[in-house]
């Protein structure tokens, strides 16, 4: 089975690295799915969820992350997601994200509201 090597890196750390059969991310051109042997690309990441369908020694599974801005690049079997901020769904404190969403709505802060919504969406997708 063909695989891609995926690196999800935030400004402050390596968030996730491994093999995948499919990665779906939100770009300025819309949602994009990357599979092995995709044509080379470079794009700008939008705030949104990233879904990684894993393969490899640990078996098939799904990794979901909330990503806030950055870049995506694919060439020669390697996909790099370079994010300003990225959190794995398992790392997100749902109660804290809900409080942040309530605070953003009260402050009428659309950017903070969007970030909180994406964090909650990523945290709930991990259970699908």
| Per-residue confidence (pLDDT) for residue 77, from 0 to 100 | 92
Q: How confident is the model at residue 22 (pLDDT cuts 50, 70, 90)?
A: very high
Contact between 128 and 71 (Cβ < 8 Å): no
| Per-residue confidence (pLDDT) for residue 58, from 0 to 100 | 63
The total of structural domains in the chain comes to: 2
Residue 2 to residue 35: CA distance in whole angstroms:
9
DSSP type of residue 40 = P
For the cut 90, the answer to whether the pLDDT of residue 39 exceeds it is yes
| Per-residue confidence (pLDDT) for residue 1, from 0 to 100 | 64
Summarised one tens digit per residue, pLDDT across range 67-123 is 999 999 999 999 999 999 999 999 988 888 888 888 888 888 888 888 888 888 888
72 with 28, same domain? Answer: yes
| Per-residue confidence (pLDDT) for residue 126, from 0 to 100 | 54
37 with 78, same domain? Answer: yes
Give the global pTM: 0.84
Q: How confident is the model at residue 125 (pLDDT cuts 50, 70, 90)?
A: confident
Secondary structure, 3-state, 59-125: CCEEEEEEEEEEEEEEECCEEEEEEEEEEEHHHCCHHHHHHHHHHHHHHCCHHHHHHHHHHHHHHHH
15 with 40, same domain? Answer: yes
By residue range, what is the domain housing residue 36? 4-89
Residue given tokens 């996730």 in the structure block: 16
Residue given tokens 């659309």 in the structure block: 110
Tell me which residue of 81, 78, 77, 76 sits closest to 64, measured CA to CA: 81
How high is the mean pLDDT of the chain? 90
| Per-residue confidence (pLDDT) for residue 57, from 0 to 100 | 72
Q: Which of 8-22, 23-37, 77-91, 92-106 is predicted with the least confidence, judged by mean pLDDT?
A: 92-106
The domain that holds 67 is classified in CATH as 2.60.15.10
């Amino acid at each position: 089975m063909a695989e891609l090597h995926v690196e999800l890196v935030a400004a402050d750390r390596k968030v996730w690295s491994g093999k995948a059969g499919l990665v779906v991310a939100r770009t300025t051109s819309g949602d994009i799915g990357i599979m092995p042997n995709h044509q080379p690309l470079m794009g700008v990441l939008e705030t949104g969820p990233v879904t990684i369908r894993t393969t490899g020694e640990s078996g098939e599974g799904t990794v979901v992350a909330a990503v806030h801005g950055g870049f995506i690049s694919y060439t020669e079997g390697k996909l790099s997601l370079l994010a300003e901020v990225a959190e794995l769904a398992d790392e997100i404190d749902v109660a804290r994200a809900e409080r942040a969403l309530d605070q953003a709505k009260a402050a009428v802060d659309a950017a903070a509201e969007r970030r909180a919504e994406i964090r909650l969406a990523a945290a709930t997708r991990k259970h699908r």
